[in-house]
Chain A
Amino acid sequence: MALKHKATVMDEKTMQQALRRIAHEIIEHNRGTEKVVLIGIRKRGVPLAERLQEYLCEIEDFEIPLGILDITLYRDDLIQRQDQPEVHTTDVPFDLTDKHVVVIDDVLFTGRTVRAAMDALIDLGRPAGIQLAVLIDRGHRELPIRADYVGKNVPSSRSELVEVKVKEIDQADRVDILEKIAE
């Protein structure tokens, strides 16, 4: 299967704007950041969460706790997959009880990753609430899940691929839509 570039929907500047806006929305929604904690979902949710933490710190002058979640052991597709995903470490070095947890991921698609993340979080403690922030919402939900903060809504077809690149991992900040074409 070959991939053809179809469109660029976000560049470095618009990504920064979107994340800054989300930072403001998090403060507004939670009336401050006192009880807010951030949880980045591996892999690309982590650098996005770190940036949100930085922006929130600039605005509120307060460093919000940041944790890293690996959802591999909570996936619902392990039994079907031929390629076994590698397990990485979950690192949430603080108590989630009574906290407003903002989960951050790059793309919201079927909602299954978020379902797994919520199960994983509830095993770690009993948060006051869980909110979801995503850079891209591309639709096609398979579960009743929605995001509280969205960088950009990108209507896409199932045959397309939404590729998020972040500097920390991919040496560039951009979001592309790629089309799968039969050779």
Chain B
Amino acid sequence: MQTLRRKDILGLEEMSAEEINLILETARSMREIMQRKIKKVPVLRGRSVLNLFYEPSTRTKASFELAQKYMSSDSVSVAGTSSSLVKGETLKDTVRNVEIMGIECVIMRHPVSGSSHYLARNVEASVINAGDGMHEHPTQGLLDMFTIWEKKGRLEELKVAIVGDIRHSRVARSNLWGLQKMGAEVVVAGPPTLMPPDLNAFGVKHFTVIEEAVDGADVVMALRLQKERQESGLFPSMREYAELYGLTPQRITRAKEDLLIMHPGPMNRGIEISSELADGPQSVVLEQAASGVAVRMALLYLLLGGTKE
């Protein structure tokens, strides 16, 4: 396959293995540009992109903005707190107004699940979901897969354990869809109260003991404990959570020797992951950040670098 025949990137649930492959292959070519002295190619010259972030973000926002600059597109960024959202304007109105100014692609992060689908249906611009509520974060899933693929040379038949707060995690959802489509075996682990009610839909095994989940794993992915999304009573205390479910060197001894340790960031050090692991030789946390730019450059090219039918 040569072309991504879609207007938007909303989630990995609706994406095929073939499409994911094309994105990863394209990202590999983009990574070379990031290593140049002059990190800029003219491919998206004259195309305009809007970054619309209704939730805080450091890495994803910086990563998208850099990808846009490296591809020579023009972009504007609007943060939720400084925008008309606080004046009560609806999402649809906001984006339609900016679209008429010439925006061809909208990158959006929003606290409500499904918001990017809603937006995509209502505007002509391409929409890239940069995280919608507890639903999906497809570019994070893609950059995680790209990082593993670069390190291991494949995704097929790798065992990946996703550990922590699966319930509130859009990163976990995107990875669950994506990795399984690419032929990896995925297991999840964490307290039963932090498992999503629809876990069966993913067809993955669930463990409550971390040591059992990481047994024979090629990759362990720690998730951020999302303090801002916790209803009370899902677990007794941060300290107890760290004691029982935090990733530590002792807890991963049954994993494969060439284990990769991943975390989408930002990390709560000493809670879901120990500093020893986060900064250790198995950690690819920083590679994940670098992969993010390459993957987003690839997506911008595939969505905007040509004519829309």
Given known contacts A74-B42, A74-B43, A124-B36, A86 and B307 CB-to-CB distance under 8 angstroms:
no
Q: Are B36 and A87 in contact (CB under 8 A)?
A: no
- B26–A86 touching, CB < 8 Å: yes
Given known contacts A73-B43, A89-B32, A83 and B305 CB-to-CB distance under 8 angstroms? no
Determine if A85 is an interface residue (Cβ-Cβ < 8 Å).
yes
Cα A82 to Cα B37 with chains together (Å): 32
- Asked if A70 and B29 sit within 8 Å, CB to CB, the answer is yes
Contact B32 A81 (CB under 8 A): no
Interface string of A69-93 (1 = CB under 8 A from B): 0101111001111111111111100
A88 contacts B306, CB within 8 Å?
Answer: no
Residues of A within 8 A of B309 (CB): 82
Provided the pairs A73-B301, A79-B307, A81-B307 are in contact, do residues A91 and B32 lie with their beta carbons within 8 angstroms? yes
Within 8 A of B (CB), among A99-137: 119-120, 123-125
Q: Is the CB of B32 within 8 A of A123?
A: no
Tell me if A78 and B43 are in contact (CB < 8 A). yes
| A31, B71: Cα distance in complex, Å | 39
Question: Is B97 close to A, CB under 8 A?
Answer: no
Are B41 and A84 in contact, CB atoms less than 8 angstroms apart? no
Tally inter-chain residue pairs, CB-CB below 8 A: 59
Question: Chain A contacts of B37 at CB under 8 A?
Answer: 124-125
Q: A79–B306 contact, CB under 8 A?
A: yes
Query: Using a Cβ–Cβ cut-off of 8 Å, how many residues does chain A contribute to the interface with B?
Result: 24
Query: B2 near A123 (CB under 8 angstroms)?
Result: no
Q: Are B38 and A82 in touch, CB under 8 angstroms? A: no
Q: Is A73 within 8 A of B38, CB to CB?
A: no
Instruction: Answer whether A87 and B2 are a contact pair too, CB < 8 Å, given A73-B41, A78-B305, A124-B36.
Output: no
A74 closest partner in B (C-beta):
B42
B96 contacts A by Cβ under 8 Å: no
Question: In the bound complex, how far is the Cα of B36 from the Cα of A124, in angstroms?
Answer: 7
CB pair A83 B32 closer than 8 Å: no
Interface contact A87-B42, CB-CB below 8 Å: no
B28 sits at the interface (CB 8 A): yes
Taking CB atoms, residues of chain A closer than 8 Å to B33 are 73, 90
Cβ < 8 Å to B, chain A residues 31-49: none
A83 near B42 (CB under 8 angstroms)? no
Contacts of A89 in B (CB 8 A): 28-29, 32
Q: How far is the CB of A123 from chain B (nearest CB, A)?
A: 5
B20 to chain A, nearest CB (A): 15
A74 with B2, Cβ < 8 A, contacts A81-B306, A87-B30 known: no
A87→B29 contact, CB < 8 A: yes
How near does chain A come to B301, taking the closest CB pair, in angstroms?
Answer: 6
Is B40 part of the binding interface, using a Cβ–Cβ cutoff of 8 Å? yes
Chain A residues near B305 (CB, 8 Å)? 73, 78, 84
**Closest Cβ of chain A: how far from B114's Cβ, in Å?**
29
Check A84/B29 contact, CB under 8 A, given A123-B36, A123-B40: no
Give the contacting residue for B302; candidates A84, A90, A91; CB below 8 A: A84
Complex: A89 Cα to B302 Cα, angstroms: 15
Instruction: Evaluate contact between B301 and A119: CB separation under 8 angstroms.
Output: no
**CB of B90 closer than 8 Å to a CB of A:** no
Bound complex: CA A125 to CA B36 (Å): 9
What is the bound-complex CA distance between A75 and B301, given in angstroms? 13
List, in ascending order, chain A residues with CB within 8 A of B42's CB.
73-74, 119
A-B contacts, 29 of them at CB < 8 A, read A70-B29, A73-B33, A73-B71, A73-B301, A74-B42, A78-B305, A79-B307, A81-B307, A82-B307, A82-B309, A83-B2, A84-B305, A84-B306, A86-B2, A86-B25, A86-B26, A87-B26, A87-B30, A87-B301, A89-B28, A89-B29, A89-B32, A91-B32, A119-B42, A123-B38, A123-B41, A124-B36, A124-B37, A125-B37
